[in-house]
Structures are given as structure tokens and as C-alpha cells.
Structure 1
Amino acid sequence: MGSLDSPRERENGNGGCRSPGDPKVGEGGMIVVESEAMKKRRASMLPLEVGTRVMCRWRDSKYHPVKVIERRKMPSSGPNDYEYYVHYTEFNRRLDEWVKLEQLDLDSVETVVDEKVEDKVTSLKMTRHQKRKIDETHVEGHEELDAASLREHEEFTKVKNIATIELGRYEIETWYFSPFPPEYNDCVKLYFCEFCLNFMKRKEQLQRHMRKCDLKHPPGDEIYRCGTLSMFEVDGKKNKVYGQNLCYLAKLFLDHKTLYYDVDLFLFYVLCECDDRGCHMVGYFSKEKHSEESYNLACILTLPPYQRKGYGKFLIAFSYELSKKEGKVGTPERPLSDLGLLSYRGYWTRVLLDILKKHKANISIKELSDMTAIKAEDILATLQSLELIQYRKGQHVICADPKVLDRHLKAAGRGGLEVDVSKLIWTPYKEQG
């Protein structure tokens, strides 16, 4: 996990590393002894209530504002032996984690408990059926989560249930909750077979499994091979268990991804790096077999060890190459994750700028859509964000000075990995009778 951006350091006189029980260091290095009243005040705060806001020492040894999301009693016998699950309020939920009391600066406590937090917790004691419905939000209608559903989703998924996974040669810290079957609730770490994606509780189970598993690549058809990169198309109906396992795995790294119990309706495109040991998954995207809304991508994920290598934009580009083969325009299903949105904006920007430069901006939005398979609304939004669109006489007109295009192209950076269409062997999906 990368370092936090622009972290705020808590000034405690000794580099921000004072534990709550340590004596304070005053000006000139003098030790300030706490009074009995101060000690009693500290004791009266404990255990901290859910909703408390306080400063917390992160792994970079700097203090950051957090909100207590949950707490749990430690096995030891002391009355204040609790761990706290905290959300770093400056940053994304993927950094949420369990911390010990000594990481918290009790002098910085701002709010003892959020309003109505107890009522909210009580109202969200859900049945298993209700919890399943949350996981299936927007499967049928594909609508964005409304405010109530979002709150319900965040309450149910507020605490990560799996801290780390082992996948191939990588141990990966997870980012979000994933609704694994109940028998895995007590597992801090899960072990995945990197080829069939079956998951196990113990390393020995994985080792035994690997001696029997004869897969060396995702189950499905290889539709692309270029150098060491390979893409496999996996039909969720033919490979249901693999599709479900892939969804469990992906949810650990996607906040609002729906867990699709009915994977029959989807095709999964799994990107792999290949070597003499097999084809190792680096990321994937899923696609509905039939989409009335012109969605050419449902979910997209590049696994953390392979991020910042251009694979996200490669997956996006691949989805549009499939749309071109189908003779359709496409757009990703919303809502996009924060990282997914960044990848799409980068891809749209680069593709459109390249074409505008070649055509000296003498091209219409419809022509751009026909050439790229990008939906007209996405093209319009991208060009508007780059201030390359003007509205004249009732229609949108592309206005791009070559110097402006060059400046935007430079800011967009290099194109990265490209899809060699000559290596794509694929025909659009047709339901077999």
C-alpha cells in the first residue's frame, strides 16, 4: 500500500510518536507529569465509543484524523483492552484498519459519539436475505446507488473481514469487505489458487490443492496473445464457480462492486502475464452478454501488485476493441470506482486527443464515436473537461488550437500498452440454442 498524500503530522514535541500513556515533553525538553485529574479524564473516555473522532498514528509514524467505526475486546483481561477499527477521514475507505489504543492520541478526542449512531446500528440488524439484497444492489436495473442504499451498504460493509490474501507469489493487503461464505468469517488471511481461484483457510490446504489442480490458466478460451500478455474469455454460465470466486476476490479491492450470484449473465475477460509456470492473472473486466444500455464493461480491476503499469487502460482499450468488432458504441456501467474513473478519463483523453491532432480538429462528435466506439456522451464530457467544446448555433462544435492539443497531450502522458488488434481472435457472443 502506498504512502498517504500530503499527510498531516501531529506535533507532540517528539516527532509525533508519543503513546497515549507516555509523559508529555514540554518546551526545552522538560517532562510534563500528568495530574491525577488528567489521568482520570483519560480513563473516563475508555473504551472509546463508536463514532469518536481522534488523531491516530499511522504506519508512517505521523498522526491523521480518524473516526472510530467499530471496536472489539482483546483476549487480555484489562478493562480497556480494546482494538478500534478506524476510518482515516482524509482518505479513501481502502485505508481503514484495526489499530491499538497506543496509536490514538486521547488528548485530541473531539466527538464522543456520532448522533443517532446507536439507532442506526439497531435499525441495521438485518436478516441474511436483506444482506444478500444489499450485495445484489443494481444487478437488475443497474441504477446508481441512492443515498439510503449507500448508507446501508457502508454500514454492512464497514469492517474488512479479510485482512490479506495470498495469490501466486504475492501477499496482498485487502481494501474492502467481501461477503465470503459464513465459514470464512474468522479468517484474517485467505489463500487463493491463482489458476482456478478456489480459496482456502490454510497454507497447507493450498499446497495440497496445487498438487491436484491441473489448470495453468483461467478456464475458458484464449482470445488474445501478444508477447507475454494473454487474454482469456470465461463464460460465467460454463464456469460458474470460477466466476463467483473471481467476484469474491474482486470485491476485496472494489468498494461498490456488486457480488454477482448469478454469473451466468456475464462474460469475464481475464488478462494474464505468461511464463513457463503458467498464465498469471493481473486483472480482468466483466461484460454483460446482453446489455440494453450499451454497457461494454460491468466491472474492471487491476490487482494491486500490477497497478501503475498501464494494465487498467489496456483493459479499457480491449473492451472498446470488442465493441468495434460488435459494430456498437459502448460505455462502462456506473458507478465507477475512483480508480476506474481515473483510468477511463485518461483513456478517453488520450484516444480523442490523438485523433483530433491527426484531423486538425476537423471532425464531428458522431465521427469520433464511430471511429472509437466511445459513446457520444462520454466524448462530449471529456472534451468539455478539456475546454475543447463550444456551443454555436444550437450545436456543439470542437474548437482545438494545435498548441492547446499539444499541451493536453503532454499532460496526458504516454499512451502505454496498446492492443494489437491483429492478435485478437474473437467473435461476438451468441446464445446457443
Structure 2
Amino acid sequence: MCFSTWYPSCYGKEVLGESSGHPAKVGSKEAGAKGQATGGTSPPAVDRLYVCPSCFKYSKELVAWCHHVRVCERKAQIPGRKVYIHPQGRRKILVPYDNKASGPKRRKGEGNIRYVEELVQDEGEWSIWEVDGEKDGLFCQNLSLFAKLFLDNKSVFFDVTGFNYFLLVYTPPTRPSLTSTELEPSLPRITGFFSKEKMSWDSNNLACILIFPPWQRKGLGALLMGASYEISRREGILGGPEKPISDLGRKGYKRYWAGEIARWLLNIDLDTKDSQNEVLVDLNDCSKATWILPEDCLSVLRDMGVVEEAGLGPSKPEEKPINDTDAEESKHEGMRASPAVDGTDKSVVTVVKTVPRVRIDKQAIRRYVAENRISLERVCDPAGFEEGYAIKAPAIAEDEAEEEE
């Protein structure tokens, strides 16, 4: 399998000896920068790089690479441990369409390539494997260097000890052997990955994400995004991808967020007792239901174009703990105070503010979903994760709470 890279190297032109995207002349000062040999030596950039699909070690020599791949594939070993198995089923993918024939219009930015949706039945197994950057450092370094060829803003290649890598692995179904009655073992293929900091001060649930070019446009990126949010939910940490997001990543996240938010909004039961058949929700409700950050929820709702101004109105009642002084002031302001449930000397006040409100019509959401071909199905099945994975034990959670106090 051979395909072009999007970005040639993680090193700058001053290292590679390039000028305006072209290799420098052999023997020139530019070609010999940063320790590069001069005179009679080949340029540091190569036209073709051979990468092992199993361990991502690379070589510029075809013979050496072929020998390595035979040995590596014989092991058929994926590092780390399997933490998720995706249930088999049908899903929609985008396939290239003959641009000369009549058919659906192409999307902007796709050149002369047209794509149409095709319903396919999953065969084999899709799974996610967790790899510790500290235990399998060489593998994670090679994977990061390979990913840099397709990610412009990736900056971590060698110091991978602080990251966990989640590999998306496809294992084809077993086939009958041509030489015996036994089934031939299937060779698992790594089709993409996302990385996650072991300890993120910003509560990021994803550092970088990549589906390798031959496997793109099959909904696999959304699967990894869904897995990252499900892991956050299990850990009890509200987070999102590391900012800033690349243009390609923002496009994928916009579709994923829109699908999650649209499914939640469409499943809200309207208040039949209300004369206008409406129900009051806020961004915090949306964030709690989808585990998407409130600012990301707001951004997507604006991009969807389903929000219309509804003037000023009362907010949802919010209870806040107050001390004795604030309780006296709240009585004069018309707020309702009640004793705290935990028996402390603090009280709880119910606050209702006048805030700008917006109205979201379900019909507008359905139109947006249909026009943008967004799936409302859950892309990641929580039942597919290993039992108890990423869930903190209650005793550990209580100990951490006591230490904070």
C-alpha cells in the first residue's frame, strides 16, 4: 500500500537543506547545514519511505524493509491491551463517485472528487488498544513520527512517557487456508489512533487524533472521538480535545458534537402542560448530558444555525450555599433560603435571574441533520469497553476527596 504524505518532515528547511520546497544542490552550504554531509552524498529528503504497518519502524531500503515486515508480521502482536470491542453492524461510508456521470454534487474543497454514501456490513473486528508511552516508548515514538507526516501541528515525537496511545485496530475475518483445512490467522491492522495525556491540567481528553489516509471517510474518526468522551465520562472528568484544534480536526469534531447535541435535544420530552409546548434547558444541561464542554456546545449550536433570539426571561432556578449574612440580604431581595441538608450552619438560596434566552426548534434541528447527513446513532457503544475500565474505585475517590479537604 502506497500513499502520499501531507507534510514532508518534522524538521525545518534549515535542517533538510531545502529551499522553496526543492532539495538544495549537493555540496552547497545549505545542504550541509546541521551536520549534513556535503559533496557527493544523497540529499537528506527521500522520495519514498518504507514504514512497517505493525511497529512503524521505517527504512529507505526496500530489501531491508521487506525482511523486517516478514519477521514483524509473523509475530502479529499489537502492543498494550485491548480495552474496547466495537459491536458489528451496518454503517454508512463515503466512496468515490465517477465525476463525469450525473450524481450528487461534491463538497467544497474536494476538487473533482465526488463522494456518495454507501451502506456496508462490518466484517471482522474493530477494537481499541491502550498503549502506555512509558512501557512501549519506541513503538509510540515511531507512531508519532509517522503521524507527523499527516499532522502539521504535532510537536511530541520522542518524549512520549506522559501519554497513553489508543490504537484503532481492524482484524479481518479468518479465511480458509489454501494448503490445509485449518483457518488462516488474521493479521490485525492499525488504522489510526489518538493520544491522551496521563495528567492534563486542562482536563483534555485527547491530544492528537489521526485516521490513516487509506481508512478515512469511513466514520472511524468519530468512533475514536466517541471513545475519548466515553473514557472521560468513566473517569468523571469533563473535558475536550486539546486546543487549538487543526482545521481537519475541527471539521470532524463539529460533526461529532452536532450529532451528540442533536440527539440529546431531539430526545427531550416537551412540556405538554405549557401553552407553547416548550421546555427550559441551559448549556449546563446540554454539557452534563453529552459530556461536551459548555463552550463547545455553544459554538456548535451557533454553527448549526438553529438558534433564534427569544428575548429576556427567567433562568432555571439555581441553588447556592450562603452564609448567615448573605441569607439576611437574600430575604430583602426576595430570594428563598432554606437550611442546608448536611446540617451545617450554611443555608441554600434559590436564585432565579433574568437572562437573555434563545429558542431552538426541533424541526430546524432535523433539517440541519438531514442537510449535513449527520448520523444520530451513538458511534461508541459503552458496553464495548472492558468491564470496569477507567472507572475509579469508590474507596480511591473518597481518599482523594479527604486529601483535598
d(CA) in 1 for partners of 2:251 and 2:301? Answer: 15
Going from structure 1 to structure 2, the CA distance change for 1:200 and 1:184 (only over 3 Å counts) comes to farther
Going from structure 1 to structure 2, the CA distance change for 1:184 and 1:344 (only over 3 Å counts) comes to farther
> Which position in structure 2 is the counterpart of 1:224?
84
Query: Quick one: which of 365, 369, 393 aligns to 2:287?
Result: 369
Query: Quick one: which of 318, 327, 335 aligns to 2:236?
Result: 327
d(CA) in 2 for partners of 1:327 and 1:363? Answer: 22
Unmatched segments (≥5 aa) in structure 2: 12-41, 87-123, 173-184, 271-279, 314-353, 394-405
Give CA-to-partner distance per residue, 1:314-367, whole Å, 9 cap, x none.
111111011111111111112222111100000111110111011157432112
TM-score (ref. length: structure 2): 0.60
d(CA) in 1 for partners of 2:254 and 2:356? Answer: 20
Query: Quick one: which of 351, 356, 359 aligns to 1:399?
Result: 359
> Which position in structure 2 is the counterpart of 1:89?
none
Query: Quick one: which of 373, 383, 391 aligns to 1:422?
Result: 383
Matched, 1:310 2:219: yes
d(CA) in 1 for partners of 2:70 and 2:295? Answer: 51
Give CA-to-partner distance per residue, 1:41-85, whole Å, 9 cap, x none.
xxxxxxxxxxxxxxxxxxxxxxxxxxxxxxxxxxxxxxxxxxxxx
d(CA) in 2 for partners of 1:392 and 1:291? Answer: 38
Q: What amino acid maps onto 2:364 in structure 1?
A: V
Give CA-to-partner distance per residue, 1:270-298, whole Å, 9 cap, x none.
10111243221111110000011111000
How many matched pairs? 260
Going from structure 1 to structure 2, the CA distance change for 1:385 and 1:395 (only over 3 Å counts) comes to farther
d(CA) in 2 for partners of 1:388 and 1:256? Answer: 36
d(CA) in 1 for partners of 2:161 and 2:261? Answer: 35
- 1:260 deviates by 3.1
Matched, 1:198 2:57: yes
Secondary structure of 1:189's counterpart equals coil
Query: Quick one: which of 276, 295, 302 aligns to 1:384?
Result: 302
Matched, 1:249 2:167: no
- 1:184 deviates by 9.1
> Which position in structure 2 is the counterpart of 1:298?
207
Going from structure 1 to structure 2, the CA distance change for 1:380 and 1:186 (only over 3 Å counts) comes to closer
- 1:411 deviates by 2.2
Secondary structure of 2:244's counterpart equals coil
TM-score (ref. length: structure 1): 0.56
Q: Which runs of 4+ in 1 moved over 3 A?
A: 388-398
Q: What amino acid maps onto 2:390 in structure 1?
A: T
Secondary structure of 2:3's counterpart equals strand
Identify the range of structure 1 (308-317 vs 222-231) with the bigger mean alpha-carbon deviation: 222-231
d(CA) in 1 for partners of 2:392 and 2:167? Answer: 16
- 1:217 deviates by 4.3
- 1:402 deviates by 2.1
Q: What amino acid maps onto 1:408 in structure 2?
A: Y
- 1:236 deviates by 0.4
Going from structure 1 to structure 2, the CA distance change for 1:327 and 1:208 (only over 3 Å counts) comes to same
d(CA) in 1 for partners of 2:359 and 2:76? Answer: 51
Unmatched segments (≥5 aa) in structure 1: 1-169
> Which position in structure 2 is the counterpart of 1:97?
none
> Which position in structure 1 is the counterpart of 2:186?
277
Secondary structure of 2:2's counterpart equals strand
Give CA-to-partner distance per residue, 1:89-143, whole Å, 9 cap, x none.
xxxxxxxxxxxxxxxxxxxxxxxxxxxxxxxxxxxxxxxxxxxxxxxxxxxxxxx
Going from structure 1 to structure 2, the CA distance change for 1:363 and 1:322 (only over 3 Å counts) comes to same
> Which position in structure 1 is the counterpart of 2:245?
336
- 1:420 deviates by 1.8
Going from structure 1 to structure 2, the CA distance change for 1:194 and 1:395 (only over 3 Å counts) comes to farther
Secondary structure of 2:170's counterpart equals strand
- 1:201 deviates by 1.2
Secondary structure of 2:199's counterpart equals coil
Query: Quick one: which of 211, 231, 234 aligns to 2:131?
Result: 234
Going from structure 1 to structure 2, the CA distance change for 1:330 and 1:396 (only over 3 Å counts) comes to farther
Matched, 1:350 2:350: no
RMSD of Structure 2 on Structure 1 (CA): 2.5
Query: Quick one: which of 176, 183, 192 aligns to 2:7?
Result: 176
Q: Which has the larger radius of gyration?
A: 2
- 1:392 deviates by 3.5
Contact residue 230 and residue 279 of structure 1 kept, 8 A = no
Larger RCO: 1 or 2 (CA < 8 Å, sep 6+): 2
Contact residue 217 and residue 280 of structure 1 kept, 8 A = no
